């Protein structure tokens, strides 16, 4: 599994003694009744970015038809309704097939589970912050002893691509293409971020759930959240959609290639599976995830931007990847 990334999520409540961001949380209102979709007008826009990461280019002009997109990430409550009606079992809840793993694979890797972010302890070298934890899945997002109590309106996590696709099929919708996600996230603005100006936190106000401080050792939680946030805690963008930047990475329908194809410009759908496999030189099927997450920091990742993209193993759900759906 070459492409993956991931975190445990705990909401941090502020006191008046915690200076610097008390005002941010005091005025922050999360959605009380999440749900619904918003309309994104068809448009011609510049997709991609040539200024930062190579895989985001070449920037090129594309045209898209209008579409509806979920106002926020699919929540635990919404996913629970799907599971209750269908009896669906996510990839993280199924025991892996030993035939898919090397014969010398660790026993824990052959148990049902998922991957968690584990912050290095003080004095520990920051080299690897991911752990495969048996018993971790969407119902137990922070490990086998955790639960969804109080997290009904948090984004569902530990969902592999096929889990997200299964939900979309059940809902009579689909997963957004990379171009649809980027247009919805950008609000059709010619700025680095989908708000006024090119600052992550203009005038000290955070507009997305990201990591503040030096990753992975220090998270100052200046945005009011240490880890996952409930859906819709930051202001909606120009389309009325929430959290297309930060909080969780989100699955798209596109296979991944390490650069854009400028000729794929009319309602672009990206490369085929075979083209993807050929371009990444790997036997694992990888799709594009978009939006960045609460693990993206200024010293690490920098992918909390509409143009940002990353490859993700389709068979792996993690603690900082979710999804939303679209319809025409």
**Residue 181, domain CATH:** 3.90.1580.10
Q: How many domains does the chain have?
A: 1
Hey, how many other C-beta atoms are within 10 angstroms of the C-beta on 122?
A: 7
pLDDT in tens, 257-287: 999 999 999 999 999 999 999 998 876 789 9
pLDDT in tens, 279-309: 988 767 899 999 999 999 888 888 999 999 9
Task: Write the DSSP assignment of 275-308 as a string of letters.
Answer: HHHHHHT-SS-EEEEES--TT-BTTBB---STT-
Any domain includes 20:
no
Give residue 1's pLDDT band: very low, low, confident or very high (50, 70, 90). Answer: very low
Any domain includes 251:
yes
Alpha-carbon distance of 2 to 279, in angstroms, equals: 14
Any domain includes 22:
no
Percentage above 90 pLDDT, the chain: 64
Predicted model pTM: 0.88
Q: Indicate the length of the chain as a whole number.
A: 328
Any domain includes 12:
no
User: What contacts 54, CB < 8 A, 6 or more positions away?
Assistant: 258, 259
Any domain includes 227:
yes
User: What contacts 255, CB < 8 A, 6 or more positions away?
Assistant: 270, 271, 272, 273, 275, 276, 285, 286, 287, 288
Any domain includes 196:
yes
More confident residue, 87 or 301: 87
Any domain includes 1:
no
CA angle 280–264–54, rounded 5-degree value: 45
Any domain includes 16:
no
pLDDT at residue 3 tops 90: no
pLDDT in tens, 153-188: 999 999 999 999 999 999 999 999 999 999 999 987
User: Looking at residue 28, what is its pLDDT?
Assistant: 60
Alpha-carbon distance of 176 to 166, in angstroms, equals: 14
Domain enclosing residue 281, as ranges: 35-327
């Amino acid at each position: 599994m070459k492409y993956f990334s991931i975190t445990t999520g705990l909401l941090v409540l502020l006191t008046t003694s915690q200076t610097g961001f008390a005002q941010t949380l005091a005025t922050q209102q999360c959605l009380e009744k999440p749900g619904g979709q918003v309309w994104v007008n068809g448009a011609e826009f510049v997709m991609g970015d040539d200024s930062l990461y190579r895989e985001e280019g070449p920037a090129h002009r594309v045209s898209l038809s209008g579409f509806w997109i979920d106002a926020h990430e699919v929540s635990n409550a919404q996913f629970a309704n799907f599971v209750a009606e269908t009896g669906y079992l996510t990839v993280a809840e199924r025991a892996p097939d030993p035939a898919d793993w090397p014969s010398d694979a660790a026993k824990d890797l052959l148990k049902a589970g998922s991957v968690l972010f584990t912050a290095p302890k003080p004095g520990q070298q920051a080299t690897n912050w991911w752990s495969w934890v048996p018993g971790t899945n969407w119902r137990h997002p922070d490990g086998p002893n955790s639960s969804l109590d109080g997290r009904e309106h948090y984004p569902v996590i530990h969902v592999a691509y096929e889990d997200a696709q299964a939900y979309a099929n059940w809902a009579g919708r689909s997963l957004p293409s990379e171009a649809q996600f980027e247009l919805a996230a950008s609000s059709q603005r010619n700025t680095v971020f989908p708000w006024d100006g090119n600052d992550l936190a203009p005038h000290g106000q955070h507009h997305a759930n990201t990591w503040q401080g030096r990753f992975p050792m220090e998270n100052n939680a200046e945005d009011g959240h240490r880890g996952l946030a409930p859906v819709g805690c930051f202001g909606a963008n120009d389309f009325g959609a929430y959290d297309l930047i930060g909080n969780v990475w989100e699955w798209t329908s596109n296979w991944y290639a390490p650069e854009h194809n400028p000729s794929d410009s009319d309602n672009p759908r990206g490369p085929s599976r075979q083209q993807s496999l050929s371009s990444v030189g790997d036997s694992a099927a990888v799709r594009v995830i978009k939006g960045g997450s609460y693990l993206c920091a200024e010293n690490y990742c920098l992918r909390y931007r509409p143009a940002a993209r990353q490859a993700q193993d389709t068979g792996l759900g993690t603690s900082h990847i979710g999804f939303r759906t679209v319809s025409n």
